[in-house]
Structure 1
Amino acid sequence: MTQSPTSGASLSRAPAPVRRSPFWPPGLPAEASIPRTSLVYNIEVAAHRYPDKTAIQYFGSAISYAALLGQIERMAGYLQRKCGVAPGDRVLLYSQNCPQFIIAYYAILRAEAVVVPANPMWLTAELEHVAADSGARVAFAAAELYERLAPLHGDALPHVVVHDYADMLPGEAKSNGGPAVPAWLRARTPLAGQVPAGGTLVRWQDADAAGLMPLPHAAGYDTLCMLAYTSGTTGHPKGCMHTHGTLMSAAVGSQIWRGNTPDAVFLSVAPMFHLLGMQNGIHAPLYLGATIVLLPRWDRVLAADLIERYRVSNWGAAPAMLVDFFSQPDILERDLSCLAFLGGGGAAMPDAVANMLQERFGLGYIEAYGMTETAAFLLSNPRHRPKRECLGIATFGVDARVIDPQSRVELPPGELGEIIASGAQVMRGYWRNPEADAESFIELDGKRFLRTGDLGFVDNDGYFFMRDRLKRMINASGFKIWPAEVENLLYGHPAIHEACVIAARDERRGETVKAVIVLKPGMQGRAEAGAEQIIQWCRERLAAYKVPRVVEFVQALPKSATGKIQWRALQEAQSDAPRQGT
């Protein structure tokens, strides 16, 4: 079922050798040995090695590796024998973080099928597009979300298996003294109405209780296993085709890079439908045979409780999530001594926040870079020598470069251009979309490179720095301004909690810089937190053309399910506003 991308170029020449930074982590090999197996094999190995070890910790309900494998096998058997799932079929997975998400994911893989993760924030129209585009005829769905999926359930999507988050919680007798369980997590959703014509609806427990076993597993490294749909910032979302091998390359490589072991404990709170949460919160820990501590929805107080209680050592999170977590009023009273690794990406960690983490908690933040198309892990800072506000260096087998976006000529260190990358973790292409492949892939030196659409540069040490998305630049009277640079400065202001910089229309300059700001608690009304005061503070630290001319204060910034600030939503709203008259 795997489709080859249509790039319009033949790879006739011998590929150029991979370039390595002079600051490659000491002791690490130039290439990582990636298993040539399916992801399912990782569970089988862990279940044999550590049968009684906790694989998933869910509010006091501990699921061992042996039990996890058993549930995966039974659900895979149900998919094959009751839903007619055949090798290569696509299966929709629509849920927030919970044990059933992980079990369903691996059950789909065990059934030789292809996972189609769906954002739990999607409504019916978005689900309809992805279901139709992928051709999925079976779905796993959280009961709370079934109402949105119900209009599709029937002839087009015949089989739906539903679960309640409460199903996997411990009983009252086991939960005494355990972490507080949010009320919404204990709720059970009645499934109103009749099963539509041509459709079957079954509860998770009933599918599991059927006790059906799957056929022998034959999928391997090169087998298509997931269609991850992009956010669709232009047009409909596109499905990124990943194999067991592309996902394995990134998941395994990241753990060798970070030096993690089976004794690591991962906090899994980044949404699992997204590659950050999927790779760091599912595939990587299960490859290691480590423990996953699940938090279905972001709650900073509950996150601190889980870290303390279960001695979490590893946490991958977007900077915005960490900013919120470490701004809790009583955070200094928490025992966070177990945390050994904080890392993530999606946006640059503001220097002021990184300084706070180091000075108050002794924690460094290891920034990395990846995207849906690259299975998350592509570039990363080496732990022994990280650089601030930096994407890191090219990791195992990755060839990353900076090119001129128009001429496609590679640029020397220090010059701004588009980041491109080639590596084993790069997707095979977009699902049934050769036109998108032709736009996204190019050939250089006999290699197939993905155009990331991100603007940055590489320094003389081989470290990559991102300045912004190519399409996010502000053009003020011909001066190019990259919002990320201004945002990073604003985070250093003592009154500012969060900031997003966008373009405002301007009668004279064409565009001008606007800062949308969330103030820290208690700063509202303070003299130093006024719009003019913040603008003046920026004038003392930025070139004049970069200084915000407009400041808007808001209670909160819009964020995606992964905690990334949604600058595009603010920009689109601003586009409908009247021009500024500066």
Structure 2
Amino acid sequence: MTSLKDFKVDESKVWFGDYWAKGVPKQIYEVEGIVIEPLLEGFMRSADERGFWDENVCMAVYGPYIEKITFRDLVIKAKQFGTFLHNLGIRKGDVVAIDLPNSINFVIAYLGTLYIGGIMAGINPTYKPMELLHALSITDAKVLVVMDALYSLAENILPKTKVKHVVSTNLLDFVTAGIDTVKALRNNIPDLQNSIPDETKHYKVYRMKNAVLNTEPKEIKVNIDPWTEPAAYLMTGGTTGLPKAAMLSHANLIVNLYQQRDWVQLEPGMIDISIIPFFHSYGLTSCMNGSLYLGMVMLIFPKPPDEKHLCETVKQLEAPQKILYPSVELLFKRLIDFAEEMGEDNFKKEYDIHKKLKFASQGAGPLHDYVRIPFEKVFCTIRPGYGLTETSPVVSSSPFWGPNKFGKIGLPLPGTDVAIFDAENFDLGPICDGTPERNNFGVEHTGEICVAGPQVMLGYKGEQEEQEDNLKFWNGKRWLLTGDIGFLDEDGFLEIRDRKKSLVKVAGHSVFPKEVEQIFGKNPYVSEVAVAGLPDRQRGEAVKAWVVLKSGYKEGKDITVDDLKKWCEENMARWKCPSYIEVIETLPVTATGKVLRRQLQESDISKLEEGNTIKG
């Protein structure tokens, strides 16, 4: 049986030296109070111990109105929803896909699924039909919980899936405000439930609000092995770029909370600005699970607010325990720009967010000094971290206090082992394993970053032939090959140099070129397409597509670049759509026919570095 002591890390590793955060245990089994248990049981036990049953744990922001709900009310509604699912025949191990923006609705659906031993599949609500079909198919979802405004995107693909029950909901379903307030909110959040059928020949449709209010909760007992049974399926491209579902166990998700708790000094009552999507591992762990487990308060925004709205919302709040802001570089930069446009003195007279923020954490990409330095000057300490969907997600983080190094992605968290392996041959063993004996620190010893620890996923859902070979054993440990190329420095700080594959990060979103190529290739005018990322100061990276048209078609006569961009916007999530599309005669290829994407990419990067414009 798995034990936390199975994840002991050699304490001679250099990251346990002068930069290790004082007071933070080195081993995961030394973390005070750690218990590996099913998630919902852990949330409720923690509420008992910390006394937050009747404290607000969600504050959902709808324009000027904030809906609050206590942990007790959340659990009651979750049990009602779970019982409703159980009455439909949903059982332990069945998959409930949640296609919702951040909301109280999402939290209830998630907890209700956990209550009956189900598995939550997080679905990006910006998915277009083909993307949604793939996600529902790969996860074998039996239930789809969907926002009423998104149902029209799902109705035509649902017959091609295993979904038998659709639960429609509206953002205002659990708002308890008076009639006048709800009426005012309806101007921006219309009720579209009447446009959705009650039944089709393929599935039945239910209303979440009615399902919760009209169901008497039953005590449903399920036995869950937290180490071996999944709590969530989250979509990821892995290192190949082909979308798949990472299976995260209850233990994976719970242990990652304990790994972060002391590192960030998380405490009950802190407010957690919850802008990062809950369907994403970063939002699931650092916002939703963290708040539910530690009695923090999720400040929920269905979509990223503009800076004025964020500052005005925070101004309304009492925050004696301060506020945490897990986010991405783009949103931090926008907040800095907003303050600078007003003038720092005027900003601080008008708003108090700078007084209430305690820490900010940056994920989903690098943290540049041109963002970090001005942000810390006006607001609070901001630290980058590194993680993947496959690691629940956090692997490393820079220290939030004490000595630090900037321009890095932090030190491995308690219980996490990191080593640099040869990027082409894992079996050669580590180039650098973090020990002084092996040495090999620094950029000249670059290789693939590999991670071992209790937060590493169970695997990908699907048949073995669909898997990618990125979970391997070495020296008694199970290692995840991250696909990221980097190195460890002499103090154990990680630094990423490049991606093994061609993953593109657009404003914190992962864009997988193969997926964009596959979808774009369905355009009736397109013969071949290659996709890569280009540097973009505002978004980190931008997507560019190089397109070869089918024989007989001419750019400008039969199809234009604008037409191609419009087609992409109709068939892909906005952040996957190419910002640049260049029509070319042929794609450069190797002797074996492999497309030389890097050649195309580097040519444009050189032009940008020289100050020249690029096509598209």
TM tier relative to shorter chain: 0.7 to 0.9
Residues 196-252 of structure 1: per-residue CA shift (max 9 Å, x gap): 114221111211122232412432422221111114785641111111000111122
Q: Secondary structure at the match of 1:151?
A: coil
Moved more, 421-430 or 331-340: 331-340
Inter-partner Cα distance in structure 1 for 2:215 and 2:127: 31
Cα distance in 2 for partners of 1:63, 1:389 equals 40
Whether the 8 Å CA contact 1:272–1:281 is kept in 2: the answer is yes
Whether contact under 8 Å (1:42, 1:287) holds in the other structure is yes
Counterpart position of 1:315:
325
User: Which residue is 1:97 aligned to?
Assistant: 102
Q: How does 1:48-447 map to 2 (within 5 A)?
A: 48=48, 49-59=51-61, 60-81=66-87, 83-153=88-158, 156-172=162-178, 183-185=187-189, 187-193=191-197, 195-208=199-212, 209-222=214-227, 223-231=229-237, 234=240, 236-300=242-306, 301-310=308-317, 311=319, 313-328=323-338, 329-330=341-342, 331-332=347-348, 333-336=350-353, 337-361=355-379, 363-384=380-401, 385-408=403-426, 409-411=429-431, 412-414=440-442, 415-435=445-465, 437=467, 439-447=469-477
Which digits, 9 at most, give the CA deviation of each residue in 1:162-196, with x for residues without a partner?
110022234247959xxx96943355443344621
Query: How far apart are 1:502 and its partner, in Å?
Result: 8.0
Residues 160 and 200 of structure 1 are in contact (CA less than 8 Å); yes or no, is this contact kept in structure 2?
yes
How far off its partner does 1:503 sit?
Answer: 8.8
TM-score (norm 2): 0.73
Q: Counterpart in 1 of 2:513?
A: none
1:376-412 CA distances to partner (integer Å, 9 max, x unpaired)? 1111111123322211011111111112201334232
Q: Is the 8 A contact 1:318 1:345 kept in 2?
A: yes
Partner of 1:35: 35
Preserved CA contact (<8 Å) 2:92 2:116: yes
Change (3 A) 1:465 1:429: same
Deviation at 1:460, TM superposition (A): 0.2
Aligned length: 494
Comparing 206-215 and 373-382, the one that deviates more: 206-215
Structure 1 pair 86/473, CA: closer, same or farther in 2 (3 Å)? Answer: closer
Deviation at 1:358, TM superposition (A): 2.0
Percent identity (aligned): 22
User: For structure 2, which runs of at least 5 residues remain unmatched after alignment?
Assistant: 432-439, 505-531, 547-568, 587-599, 608-616
TM-score by length of 1: 0.77
Change (3 A) 1:153 1:213: farther
The amino acid across from 2:430 in the alignment is E
Offset, 1:471: 2.8
Contact 1:90 1:116 in 2 (8 A): yes
Q: Is the 8 A contact 1:52 1:65 kept in 2?
A: yes
Partner in structure 2 of residue 546 of structure 1: none
| 1:45-78 CA-partner distances (Å, limit 9, x unpaired) | 3554222210111232210111111011111111
Code of the residue aligned with 1:52 in structure 2: it is: D
SS in 1 for 2:495: strand
Per-residue CA deviation, residues 341-387 of structure 1 (Å, 9 max, x unaligned), is 100211111111111112233x2211111110001111111112332
1:324 alignment partner AA: R
Distance 1:562 1:364 in 2: 33
Q: Residues 236, 403 of structure 1: CA spacing in aligned structure 2 closer, same or farther, 3 A cutoff?
A: closer
Structure 2 distance, partners of 1:15, 1:164, is: 46
Determine the structure 1 residue equivalent to 2:614.
Answer: none
Range moving further from structure 2, 342-351 or 127-136: 127-136
Contact 2:40–2:114 at 8 Å: present in 1 too?
yes
In structure 2, the CA distance between the partners of 1:437 and 1:157, relative to structure 1 (3 Å rule), is: closer
Q: CA–CA distance in 1 between the matches of 2:543 and 2:93?
A: 43
Q: Shift of residue 302 of structure 1?
A: 1.9
SS, match of residue 185 in structure 1: coil
1:463 maps to what in 2? 493
Q: 1:186, 1:502 → 2: CA distance?
A: 33
Query: Does the C-alpha gap of structure 1 residues 499 and 203 become closer, same or farther in structure 2, counting only changes over 3 Å?
Result: closer
Question: Displacement, 1:14?
Answer: 11
Give the distance between the partners of 2:197 and 2:84, measured in 1 at CA. 24
- State the Cα distance separating 1:437 from its structure 2 match: 4.6
SS in 2 for 1:256: helix
Mapped contact 1:50–1:289 kept (Cα < 8 A): yes
Match of 2:155, SS state, is helix
SS at match of 1:346: coil
**Aligned equivalents of 2:53 and 2:139: distance in 1?**
36
CA pair 230-499 structure 1, distance change in 2 beyond 3 A = closer
Instruction: Report the counterpart of residue 516 of structure 2 in structure 1.
Output: none
- In 2 relative to 1, CA 299–16 (structure 1 residues): closer, same or farther, beyond 3 Å? closer
| Equivalence for 1:524 | none
Contact kept? 2:86, 2:116, Cα under 8 Å: yes
Any conservation in 2 of the 1:165–1:186 contact (CA below 8 Å)? Answer: no
**Counterparts in 2 of 1:70 and 1:97: CA distance versus 1, 3 Å:** same
- Tell me how large the CA RMSD over aligned residues is: 3.3
Contact 2:239-2:500 at 8 Å conserved across structures: no
Task: Name the CA shift for 1:182/1:255 in 2 (closer, same or farther; >3 Å).
Answer: farther
SS at match of 1:357: helix
Contiguous gaps of at least 5 residues in structure 1:
5-12, 475-482, 492-496, 506-557
